[in-house]
Structure 1
Amino acid sequence: MDRTRAAHFVFHSVALSFLPLWKLFRKTQLPPLVVNPVHLILSVFGCAMFLVSEVHVHAANLPARPAAELRTTGPADHLSVPLALSYHQVVLEKRSGSGWRPLSVLYPRTLSREQMRDVHFVLPSGLSPEDVRVLGYRNPKFPSRFAYGKQAFSRYEVTAETAAHPPLDRLRSQKAAPVPSSAVSPPSLKANSLWHLAGETLLVYHHHRGLQVVDLKDPDNPLKLGTLRLPVVGEKLWALNEAGTEVMLLGRSIAKERQGSILLYLLKITNGLPEIVKELTIPGRLTDSRFIGPHLHVLSQSKKAGQGLRTLLTRLDLSQPPNPTRLSDMVFSGGGAVFQTQDTHLMVRVKEGSQVRLHEVPVSSAAGQSVDQPQFRSATQVLGYDVRIRGQDLILKHATEAQVAQVTLPLGWRTDRVIPSSDILLQVEDGLAPGSQARVRVTPITAPDMLLQELPLGPGRVVGMTQQDDEVFIAQWVPASLEGEAETRLLTWTLNLSDPSAIKLHPPIEQRLKGLDEWDVDLSAVQPLRLHRETLLWFIPARHHPSLWWSSPIAVAAAQPSAQDLIPASSAVMVLCPVHLTKTGLSPEEPQILRIRGRVLHTSRAISQEGFIFFSHDSAGAASGSDLGPPSRVPWRPQPGEISSWLHVVDCRSGAPLLRDPVSIPGQLLSVTDIDDQGAVVLTETELSLRRDSPPARVIQASGYDGVSVRQFDNYITGTTASSAAAAQDDRLYLTRETGRAAVVVVRYAKSSGKLSQAATWNTNAPPTLLHAARGHLVASSPGNLELAFADAEAGKLTSIASYDTPASLWLQVDRTAFTEGLDLWIPAGDYGVEFLQKQGASDQ
């Protein structure tokens, strides 16, 4: 059914609906009416508009019809397609390897009357009719205004003269991910551990992993009994009884609502499991503390306007830990207060201006001896073993027999990626820190802090991970400088999960990347692309170089003559590393690198659907790189000026990647939807400075890509800033609104109308700095806050599901969130390990 048949169907339906009324009118004798011509014209016009809109909606929802190979006539250098009026889109394609590359596209129904009968193609030089074919499509792919849309695009970088805020420098801002999750370092926290040995039980408080209880009855096999995470940076840890079942922890809060305040936790340990009995807040900033018998003395410092620094001494009686009582509060002028012992008296030393004052602290005669112990001890002994904590590991070594192997129990580790599988959880440490190694750790899914197995990957950085059935594939970047080789290598490891009790790590396959280093590519944005089950592609985009204070030009090599191949030139846009999955293992192919003349300012994330790979790059005033030219000089750091964006499409339907010619697009690529053989709808973004005293706004464009060109047919100015967080999924864009009420705005492309519009708004507790859309959900993260919403794909609405307060220093990599089949969420949290959200907070709608 084409548009004409759809119009006939709609007209017939409307006529049938008016038939009963017409019969009634014929049987009724009505007096003659005087018709107002204006009313008659408006009525006819309204009916016509209704019919046109209905035809357009029905035509847009028609099922796609397969392309027809059309008969051609004409001389060797010209092809004519007779009677092409019944086709909306006619495409000339050239054979390229095992696939076909579009060369030209015509739309017969948009031509003048003299041209409506036949359409004509001029063959490029060197091509014969045997090398090409012509396909015809009867269904319209894009709105009618597509044929008249703009095709050449460029824009200007926003400078300080057009924005009151700091200039949005495209050499620093990644628009698809305004706050790159792997490029931002987590907050720096002291990694030392507080620990206390009570008999054969070790109590350890780790700033990232909380209070851990370790049983040392068998030093050769230490057992971690329980863990309790607390939003506090620990300063002192005391056991209130000899058995170590009553514990007191003093530290600084990292909770969002009371960050930096003093927190005192009274804890009870039952069967190795710690729980909170009482939580107290002490005002001010902690400067010192002393525990004498059942009495705790805490010094804190505060500053009030007009009063200067003031020191507060808080004294608590902990003889009954579940019900502590406050003995007294004392206030001293000055700051920098610490405790010191003078003879048998406890004194407070306070500095006020240039003077130092000593104040005596009343201590009850019934109080016992001070149980203050060094919190960061080097070693102690238990059952003939030296016990020490080195970094994040508990180490036990026999005190007298050197031949006995030492035992190491990890108390914490870094988690950069996570994959839940059946009853186990794979936690991957990327190996970012200098001198560190990448590792895969296996833990129970019910106890993420209990290590079952550790698989070292050696030096190098993990840059990607994906799973297929019972196999997990891990990509590791090994720079030449690590092993003294001449070439950088990309390793692909295989983990076999068929037997969770004994996970196997197979030797990696390698691909050599000659002439590339970490300066050229963005390793934090590597994507695994799965076109089909037999092929895996590692997509490595170019690095987004920071702004430099100089801009002197440098000489670069000229581009190569062929633009149809992935060729070397001067600046890398992306690297494709294909890996084939065979029955005998992995089989690597030669990596393919796309380069252009000039300097790449930005490479978007890749979108892989229907056998195509879409991505874009930005360049400063440079062409697409397909032309020849002498060696040129380009600025090392381009000055603010004209910026061009180019769309690249890789056709992988025939097996080998086939790169099409680059096409100019309005801005950076955000998403691609409605993909098929005829083309796709491309959603891009640019920035627009509306006022001098406000940051630039984000503008969304909808354009049609027909295999040869891109034409814009809609433009939408959003109420969000250009640098705010964004996420995309098919025809929906999720944008952070930072001005006014914090929210996530949903902008949607409607296929039926070919228009962009705001579909919904989700109010959040704080402006999200990271967004991630997957499995029908949207995860939003900001310092101290994590929120989850259900995303309705049909209506484009967002429904809030849950909101969580998180420690202000907790760094959640929500763009690496892993979902289980039951819609549980696992979020890597760096040094904090992994965070877990249960199904009750998600929706399986």
Structure 2
Amino acid sequence: MVIVDVSGTEPTEIASIPVEGRIQDSRLVGTALYVTTQVYRHRTESEGAADEEIWEWGSQVVSYDLSHPAFPVQMDSIWVPGYQNVIQATSEFLFVSTQGSLRRDRGRSTLKIIDIGQADGAMTELSEIRPAGRILDKFKINMHGKILRVISELPIRPLQTDLETFDLTNPKRPFKLGTVTLGKNESLHATRFDGDKAYIVTFFRIDPLWVVDLSDPANPTISGELEVPGWSTYIQPLGDQLLSIGIDNVKGWRVSVSLFDVADPAKPGLLSRVPIGTHHSWSEANHDEKAFGWIEEAGLILVPFQSYEESGSMAGVQLIDLNGDTLQKRGVIEHTVAPRRSALKENVILSLSGRSLMSVDATDRDRPELVSELTLSWRVDEVFSIGDHVLQLTKGSQWNGENAALRLGEADRDFQFLTELDLGSTPLVGTAMRGETLFIAQASTTSVPVPVAEGEKQGPGTYSFVMSAVDLSQLPDLQLLSTQEIQLENPVFGSDLQALWISDDHLVWQSSQDNWFWGNDVVFDGPARGIADIGFWPGGFSGSRFLAFDTDSADGLQFLSDFDLAVENVWNFSDGHAVDGKIYISYQKSELDEPGPGRPEELVIKGRWIQKNFLAVVDYADPIHPTQRPAVNIPGSLAGVSHGGDVIFTKGMHYDEETLVTNNREWLDALAYDGVAAHLMDSIAYSSQWPHLAEVTQQGYVIAGQIQEDKKDDDHSVADNVFGLYTLSSWFLNDEGNFERQDPLWNLPFGASELKLTDDQLLLRQGQEVWGFNIEESGALQLQSVYEPFGCYWFNLSGTVLDEGDHLWIPASDYGADRLSPTGPDRPLVRVSGGTFFGECEGYCKTSIHVGPTRTTFTASALDQSLPTYRQYAYGANNWASIADTVDWNVFSELPEIVGCPDCADGGGEWIEVNVAGESHRVTFGNGVKIDAIQPLIERIRSLRGGFKIPEPKIDSVNYIRIESDCEDLCRRRIHINQSTSRWTFSDPLGQLRAKNYSERTPTLDWDRLDSLIDWRVVQDLVSRESAICYSCPGTEWIEITGGNQIYLIPAWFEEVSDLKGFLFSMLNKYQIKPETEGVPEE
């Protein structure tokens, strides 16, 4: 919150106050300011040794003493729980209404009354009122003398609206005077109090306007009602008239302004209505009355709006005259983005949007004329750094009419553009910097008719593609060197074309497109020839286009070729990689796996579609006539190319060659490519943490996120090290063709969602943070800096740039661009863990806790795996904040790995591990031992660990699922057993037949028998093998065991569970599906 002195010719900021949350409302009473904000906060409730973290929404009411504006003083604070609370205030009272909960109190609000009448800002909670229903907005709360009037909607069925009056003569003990009910089966919308009348709008299919007489507060009565289409969202009383804005639903869904006659409350009437937009429109004024511009002295209404027309979207301010009993639509002030507010000064309208402030001559209101426009902001989609300058790009849009543009400014201060180059209305779809020249691609998705001779039939139009070269050698001047426009029969899709340099002078723009839909199952006519399988027909079209240009022609830019990699039933194109005059790209292709022979002729069998990855190489030895090599099958999507194209890297799942079953683990593969075939050299697995990323440097190093690290020793399992820990690592191929990691391994607090590789630098985005790494000649990564954006908004690393001062420029789309200063390269804290262990014990005697920025994971297990591993999660940042304050990495990292003799006694031991970016250190010590240097950290770990309670180990439920080999009709059989109920489900894998179910109580003997057959050592051993299960293949069967907050999936064909499977199979066969007319009883 900023306090500004406006007494002089220029506004001057004299003070600022940080305010928690989002401001809802404020009131200035004398020199006391009251501010209400919506806050999401956490609080800690202590219960024994455990602290429970609770997050809650609420309104924070804070008062400030502004008797000395330059030195504001916070005076008082009141917390009111609830989300989207409604705020209203007078000079004496502040009202805060909760929205109520349908589950707890059937949606009734609680209206709190707070005294704000003190000059110094002191506040007192006086009382609270429970109205009949839910108070939806501030216009439904009104003080008239000592009478409080409240309008609420009862959200239960049937809907109704209640207007209630309360006596506040003694505000500490208010009491109800009267009530009136209206609008049965209708939702409540706009309301307004005016003296001793209330105007209420409800809506179902039409809009009743209700007039309520409040002259007798104890006996409110309905004076009149008017039914009109649509509904109002805001009402402005004008004596015997009401001016409103709302929605007209007669022809589409349009913003409308209405004028009502209420001179006779018993007979209200609609005088005039003006809809805005052709079919569909929207206005901020429908949600915020401050956007509704009513200039009474000029008889002028100003309505900001957006509409969707056949030619695209439109944004502007609609001018409407109010003359007596008539509304007249006049002209529109057009904006490129949604306008927010407008004001009138003489005959000049000032119109404000997020982009600019316009000054408009409205002498002729039918044709408002732009006088001047002050640019306040602009969209930024990409940023380039050029010495001590920064170039910002706006891509533009044909949908909203925004032009593409370049803006150049200095990099060493807040960006103020020095030069602007308008690139026209064709959207910018690609950029490439080469030396002191910027190459730009623009493409239109709107066709242009081809001229034909008179009498000839008009054929299909063409699509414009424009490539331009901009000279950057004479900054701050931006000079257009050359432009070539070509007409294409088919449009170039995509807003971010990839620029691929196939030589120093030849540039190729790559555009990939997937248009996909799912159709019906594939059915083969004629004799059956194999096992039925589940399959869907994937239809659609897709392709990858390559447009080649000569950038060093004597005649300027020269178009060379348009190559279309159009293959039937392909999709998911990778990025292209240009190496030695060739472009490498991969795609997925759908191929039909036809059923084989062996089934009765009368049975109609279905095939299945198999997805395969292929490598395509386009050779530009002759750039005018590029050629394509035969496609080569590869194990995954292309991630990169090295060694002059002789080595390729792919990312994808591995499948069994016979069954096509996968365990859903992704792999990073290195393959030797000889131009004819690809041969697998080595593979490394990704972990279960996502996302899985990979970038290949020019030197052939592979930088990957989330590669599996199988660390394991006697004190802690793989899960202790890997679970919840994200990583970034650098790899290279050794002389034997195997992957070898280049230390250090970088631990991350969050998963890396995006990587950007430029020469010897790597940018990594995780959440809102960006980490910058230097890539050494050995391929090792070294953290150089950390960048934290100012706000919470979406951005892509592809458009970012580091300037010469190591500032990171982030394009923030409609919010402009952020210039971020580097912090670091200190080692950011990633995770803090701790645990206990014993040499000999029974039960859950091994525990661990892992505290990350947003999640805490607690794990308990038995040494001999005789019990199911128990795992529990706690979400939120409170644990992280409390433990991070106790960690001093410099002190902790100097401690020895073992303190004392934790293995010498039966008392067991403890360990604490601290992970920072690029390093980790573990200290193991005897149970209960005190280490002065880190004792606050030890106590905090113990406290957090003690807050988790381990329940008695037990089986929660068991599922046995079996798909019969000769799968017809309801051939997917499943039995679900828990201690109280057993349930059988028989279903059709194709989903064409209705499933049949049966359930009964589980006999105690059956449950005890089932419990005795489950050996947790066996279960956990089988799960660790990560066996692949085909969940749709005929002949497949598996067991799902739930216990300890986890689900264990086990293939039923393992010998170790043969007794368990036999028992479950006998239970499953208790009920059988018989042919067609017979079956399991319906539940």
Normalization by structure 2: what TM-score?
0.45
Q: Percent identity?
A: 15
* Map of 2:675 onto structure 1: 707
* Map of 2:892 onto structure 1: none
Measured after TM superposition, the shift of residue 608 of structure 1 is 2.4
* Map of 1:786 onto structure 2: 769
* Map of 1:767 onto structure 2: 751
Measured after TM superposition, the shift of residue 358 of structure 1 is 4.7
C-alpha offsets along residues 128-149 of structure 1, whole Å, 9 cap, x if unaligned? xxxxxxxxxxxxxxxxxxxxxx
Describe the SS at the equivalent of 2:687.
Answer: strand
Please give the root-mean-square deviation of Cα atoms over the aligned residues, in Å.
Answer: 5.5
The partner residue of 1:649 within 605, 614, 617 is 617
C-alpha offsets along residues 370-399 of structure 1, whole Å, 9 cap, x if unaligned? xx9835544324587432224643222356
Determine if the alignment matches structure 1 residue 526 to structure 2 residue 494.
no
The partner residue of 1:430 within 392, 395, 400 is 395
Matches of 2:400 and 2:653, distance apart in 1: 41
* Map of 1:540 onto structure 2: 511
* Map of 1:419 onto structure 2: 384
* Map of 2:534 onto structure 1: none
- Equivalent position amino acid for 1:776 in 2: Q
Measured after TM superposition, the shift of residue 462 of structure 1 is 1.9
Matches of 2:135 and 2:414, distance apart in 1: 41
Query: Matches of residues 62-461 of structure 1 in structure 2 within 5 Å?
Result: 283-292=81-90, 297-301=95-99, 303=101, 306=104, 309=107, 310-311=109-110, 313=112, 315=114, 325-328=122-125, 330-333=127-130, 335-339=134-138, 340-344=141-145, 345=147, 347-351=149-153, 356=162, 357-358=164-165, 374=290, 376-377=292-293, 378=302, 379-381=342-344, 385-390=348-353, 392-398=355-361, 405-432=370-397, 434-442=399-407, 444=409, 445=411, 450=416, 454-461=420-427
Q: Evaluate the alpha carbon distance shift between residue 384 and residue 467 of structure 1 in structure 2; reply closer, same or farther with a 3 A threshold.
A: same
Matches of 1:416 and 1:593, distance apart in 2: 28
* Map of 1:724 onto structure 2: 691
Q: Evaluate the alpha carbon distance shift between residue 253 and residue 703 of structure 1 in structure 2; reply closer, same or farther with a 3 A threshold.
A: farther
Describe the SS at the equivalent of 2:565.
Answer: strand
Matches of 2:663 and 2:56, distance apart in 1: 30
- Equivalent position amino acid for 2:349 in 1: D
Q: Evaluate the alpha carbon distance shift between residue 704 and residue 359 of structure 1 in structure 2; reply closer, same or farther with a 3 A threshold.
A: farther
Matches of 1:747 and 1:733, distance apart in 2: 4
Matches of 1:279 and 1:443, distance apart in 2: 48
Matches of 1:684 and 1:278, distance apart in 2: 62
The partner residue of 2:447 within 473, 481, 486 is 481
Q: Is the 8 A contact 2:75 2:122 kept in 1?
A: no
Determine if the alignment matches structure 1 residue 748 to structure 2 residue 743.
no
- Equivalent position amino acid for 1:767 in 2: G
Q: Is the 8 A contact 2:810 2:819 kept in 1?
A: yes
Matches of 2:636 and 2:618, distance apart in 1: 17
Measured after TM superposition, the shift of residue 658 of structure 1 is 4.8
Matches of 2:678 and 2:640, distance apart in 1: 13
Matches of 1:276 and 1:539, distance apart in 2: 60
- Equivalent position amino acid for 2:811 in 1: P
Measured after TM superposition, the shift of residue 582 of structure 1 is 3.2
Measured after TM superposition, the shift of residue 530 of structure 1 is 2.7
Q: Is the 8 A contact 1:228 1:274 kept in 2?
A: no
Determine if the alignment matches structure 1 residue 517 to structure 2 residue 491.
yes
Matches of 1:753 and 1:324, distance apart in 2: 77
C-alpha offsets along residues 551-580 of structure 1, whole Å, 9 cap, x if unaligned? 789xxxxxxxxxxxxxxxx96642222222
Q: Evaluate the alpha carbon distance shift between residue 715 and residue 692 of structure 1 in structure 2; reply closer, same or farther with a 3 A threshold.
A: closer
- Equivalent position amino acid for 2:756 in 1: H
C-alpha offsets along residues 45-79 of structure 1, whole Å, 9 cap, x if unaligned? xxxxxxxxxxxxxxxxxxxxxxxxxxxxxxxxxxx
Determine if the alignment matches structure 1 residue 582 to structure 2 residue 379.
no
Any stretches of 5+ residues in structure 2 without a counterpart?
43-53, 172-287, 294-301, 303-341, 451-459, 524-539, 594-605, 709-721, 827-917, 919-1083
* Map of 1:65 onto structure 2: none
Q: Evaluate the alpha carbon distance shift between residue 504 and residue 685 of structure 1 in structure 2; reply closer, same or farther with a 3 A threshold.
A: same
Measured after TM superposition, the shift of residue 648 of structure 1 is 2.6
Describe the SS at the equivalent of 1:374.
Answer: helix
- Equivalent position amino acid for 1:575 in 2: R
C-alpha offsets along residues 322-356 of structure 1, whole Å, 9 cap, x if unaligned? x9654437554453354432423555545566674
Describe the SS at the equivalent of 1:431.
Answer: coil
Q: Is the 8 A contact 1:607 1:614 kept in 2?
A: yes
* Paired residues, number: 579
Measured after TM superposition, the shift of residue 235 of structure 1 is 5.3
Determine if the alignment matches structure 1 residue 734 to structure 2 residue 697.
no
- Equivalent position amino acid for 1:728 in 2: E
Q: Evaluate the alpha carbon distance shift between residue 492 and residue 236 of structure 1 in structure 2; reply closer, same or farther with a 3 A threshold.
A: farther
Q: Is the 8 A contact 1:734 1:745 kept in 2?
A: yes
Describe the SS at the equivalent of 2:447.
Answer: helix
- Equivalent position amino acid for 2:434 in 1: Q
Q: Evaluate the alpha carbon distance shift between residue 753 and residue 453 of structure 1 in structure 2; reply closer, same or farther with a 3 A threshold.
A: same
- Equivalent position amino acid for 2:385 in 1: P
Q: Is the 8 A contact 2:507 2:551 kept in 1?
A: yes
Q: Evaluate the alpha carbon distance shift between residue 431 and residue 373 of structure 1 in structure 2; reply closer, same or farther with a 3 A threshold.
A: closer
* Map of 2:472 onto structure 1: 497
Q: Evaluate the alpha carbon distance shift between residue 662 and residue 241 of structure 1 in structure 2; reply closer, same or farther with a 3 A threshold.
A: farther
Measured after TM superposition, the shift of residue 711 of structure 1 is 1.3
Matches of 1:228 and 1:508, distance apart in 2: 52
- Equivalent position amino acid for 2:544 in 1: M
Matches of 1:732 and 1:799, distance apart in 2: 17
* Map of 2:648 onto structure 1: 682
* Map of 1:593 onto structure 2: 563
C-alpha offsets along residues 488-515 of structure 1, whole Å, 9 cap, x if unaligned? 222123333344444334663123332x
C-alpha offsets along residues 650-709 of structure 1, whole Å, 9 cap, x if unaligned? 445787675452342423344334423xx4211112224799999822112111113333
- Equivalent position amino acid for 2:125 in 1: S
- Equivalent position amino acid for 1:387 in 2: L
Matches of 1:619 and 1:437, distance apart in 2: 38
* Map of 1:812 onto structure 2: 795
Matches of 1:453 and 1:259, distance apart in 2: 49
Determine if the alignment matches structure 1 residue 606 to structure 2 residue 583.
no
Q: Is the 8 A contact 1:666 1:686 kept in 2?
A: no
